[in-house]
Amino acid sequence: MERKNVWKTYGEEELAELEQVNRDYREFLDKGKTERECVKGSIAIAKAAGYADLNDVIVQKKTLSAGDKVYLSYMDKSLVLFHIGTRPIEEGLNILGAHIDSPRLDIKQNPLYEDTELAYLDTHYYGGIKKYQWVTIPLAIHGVVAKTDGSLVNIVIGEDENDPVVFISDLLIHLAQTQLEKKGAKVVEGEDLNIIVGNIPLKNEEKGAVKKNILKLIKEKYDIEEEDFLSAELEVVPAGRAREAGMDKSMILAYGQDDRVCAYTSLAAMVSMEQVERTACTLLVDKEEIGSVGATGMKSKFFENTLAELLDRMGVYSELTLRRVLANSKMLSSDVSAAYDPTYSSVFEKKNAAYFSKGIVINKFTGSRGKSSSNDANAEYLGEIRRIFETHNVAYQTAELGKVDQGGGGTIAYIMALYGMNVIDSGVAVLNMHAPHEAVSKADVYEAKKAYVAFISE
Ligand code: MN
Ligand code: MN
């Protein structure tokens, strides 16, 4: 079952389209390095495509019907979009679901300290990371500080050309003999991921003068006090923009592509629809990387509640209708797959691996060991997805996440499957997943968007 390298199949027109999709995608990545920034950017895209805020619709007691497009932002960290179809909604939704949180370092609640006249911010990592990858690289701080007066201060440090970046030190090779004898997981430990933020002492101060100077700076620039860190969500991410990669510019190298590559292509597909038969829905959710927990994670009831609100505005709400809509829905859990890496071939099983530039990847199941914690999609549903992709000329491949018993991973698929709907994982193959900079093939980004358009137009 060899799959073609899709670059060979494109004509000039398709190549131009592919480049456009990828330019827009890079812009999306640059504007959204946190879940909050992604929600903000996605709302702007949705509004431009005629989507209205569902909260306004509810307040104004408007009714919704076929052709209407609405979105709902949940706590500014998750987003639901609906495009109402011409067929009865009880027949179910076509859902695209991706996550917009990515592995990173979160700044602790009591983070600021000084040691030997260096000021530091202490961090707690979020999601699965190889800690040694995060030292010595330019880092940026993105996030919000919630003050006790109810105001929210937005912070981005390290992205503008004129901004300073921050960083974590690593031991020089000359003195690293003992360090390098440690196992990979311990070479750099979680508690040692301390961001260096300054070295100039405040004049006429003796103790903690460097820390005091930093506090003075943030007071001047953001009007925040040390205590305000207690109610902040500050995320430390690699600084800099998404870049084209490879001498042939075939790839994109950027932070946070798991899972913003699927989030962007799902959103782009969703807003490109003129009209849909089955009601289309796109979900961009938070907290996948830490188990889909919390009020804004997929395990929260926010999606079900939002759908109930939609049905109510359509004048068809009942508990039974809600259950039917959910059970009759079909979903592509749009999440990334591990791309086959020839340098680390021993962890992959070549027949069942995902490859760069061979199209969108379908995972019948994820999970680990004996398919534990996976959503094992139905064969019938896979057959239907194959038909959809084939009719719409979408390049696709199927894969498992590495060799049996080598490890594993999960997505939001199994959570949505709890409603009794058909769900399958499908997304873009990524090299060096969860590293500060991840790589994808531009051809796969393009095929993913095509696949999502095909899925919601069926
Ligand atoms: Mn993911
Ligand atoms: Mn992930």
Cis bond before residue 286 (omega within 30° of 0): no
Q: Can you tell me the distance from the alpha carbon of 166 to that of 120, in angstroms, rounded to the nearest whole number?
A: 10
311-359 tens-digit pLDDT: 999 999 999 999 999 999 999 999 999 999 999 999 999 999 999 999 9
- Interval between CA 434 and ligand 2 midpoint (Å): 6
Residue 360 is predicted with a pLDDT of 98
- For residues 138-165, average pLDDT: 97
- Interval between CA 30 and ligand 1 midpoint (Å): 18
Reference 139, options 454, 437, 458, 457; nearest CA is 437
In this prediction, residue 165 has a pLDDT band, given cuts at 50, 70 and 90, of very high
The SS3 call for residue 109 is strand
Residue 241 is predicted with a pLDDT of 98
Residue 408 is predicted with a pLDDT of 80
Residue 254 is predicted with a pLDDT of 98
Give the torsion through C-alpha atoms of 273, 275, 279, 285, to 10 deg: 20
The SS3 call for residue 180 is helix
In this prediction, residue 169 has a pLDDT band, given cuts at 50, 70 and 90, of very high
In this prediction, residue 232 has a pLDDT band, given cuts at 50, 70 and 90, of very high
Q: In DSSP terms, which residues pair with 388 in a beta bridge?
A: none
Query: Does residue 1 surpass a pLDDT of 80?
Result: no
The SS3 call for residue 126 is strand
- Interval between CA 200 and ligand 2 midpoint (Å): 38
Reference 88, options 66, 67, 71; nearest CA is 66
- Interval between CA 70 and ligand 1 midpoint (Å): 25
Gyration radius from the chain CA atoms: 23
Q: Note the ligand closest to the C-alpha atom of 413.
A: 1
Regarding pTM above 0.85, the answer is yes
- Interval between CA 26 and ligand 1 midpoint (Å): 18
**Percent over 70 (pLDDT), the chain:** 100
Residue 372 is predicted with a pLDDT of 84
Per mean pLDDT, which range of 369-378, 386-395, 412-421 is the poorest?
Answer: 369-378
244-297 tens-digit pLDDT: 999 999 999 999 999 999 999 999 999 999 999 999 999 999 999 999 999 999
**Percent over 90 (pLDDT), the chain:** 93
- Interval between CA 458 and ligand 1 midpoint (Å): 25
- The label of the residue with tokens 């000359």 reads 174
Residue 402 is predicted with a pLDDT of 86
- The dihedral built from the CA positions of residue 424, 396, 441 and 20, taken in this order, carries a sign that is negative
**421, 331 Cβ separation under 8 angstroms:** yes
**400, 308 Cβ separation under 8 angstroms:** no
Reference 337, options 197, 210, 433, 247; nearest CA is 433
Q: Note the ligand closest to the C-alpha atom of 128.
A: 2
- Interval between CA 290 and ligand 2 midpoint (Å): 9
Query: Does residue 405 surpass a pLDDT of 90?
Result: no
Q: Note the ligand closest to the C-alpha atom of 411.
A: 1
Q: Note the ligand closest to the C-alpha atom of 103.
A: 2
- Interval between CA 410 and ligand 2 midpoint (Å): 8
Question: Hey, what are 353's tokens?
Answer: 């691996």
For 230-280, the DSSP string reads GGEEEEEEE-S--EEESTT--EEEETTHHHHHHHHHHHHHHHT-S--SSEE
Residues around the ion ligand 2 (C-beta < 5 A): 258
- Interval between CA 34 and ligand 1 midpoint (Å): 14
- Interval between CA 49 and ligand 2 midpoint (Å): 29
In this prediction, residue 30 has a pLDDT band, given cuts at 50, 70 and 90, of very high
- Interval between CA 99 and ligand 1 midpoint (Å): 7
Residue 2 is predicted with a pLDDT of 82
Q: Can you tell me the distance from the alpha carbon of 439 to that of 75, in angstroms, rounded to the nearest whole number?
A: 30
In this prediction, residue 119 has a pLDDT band, given cuts at 50, 70 and 90, of very high
- For residues 294-304, average pLDDT: 97
Q: In DSSP terms, which residues pair with 107 in a beta bridge?
A: 123
- For residues 357-367, average pLDDT: 93
59-90 tens-digit pLDDT: 999 999 999 999 999 999 999 999 999 999 99
Mean pLDDT of the chain: 96
- Interval between CA 428 and ligand 2 midpoint (Å): 12
- Interval between CA 12 and ligand 1 midpoint (Å): 32
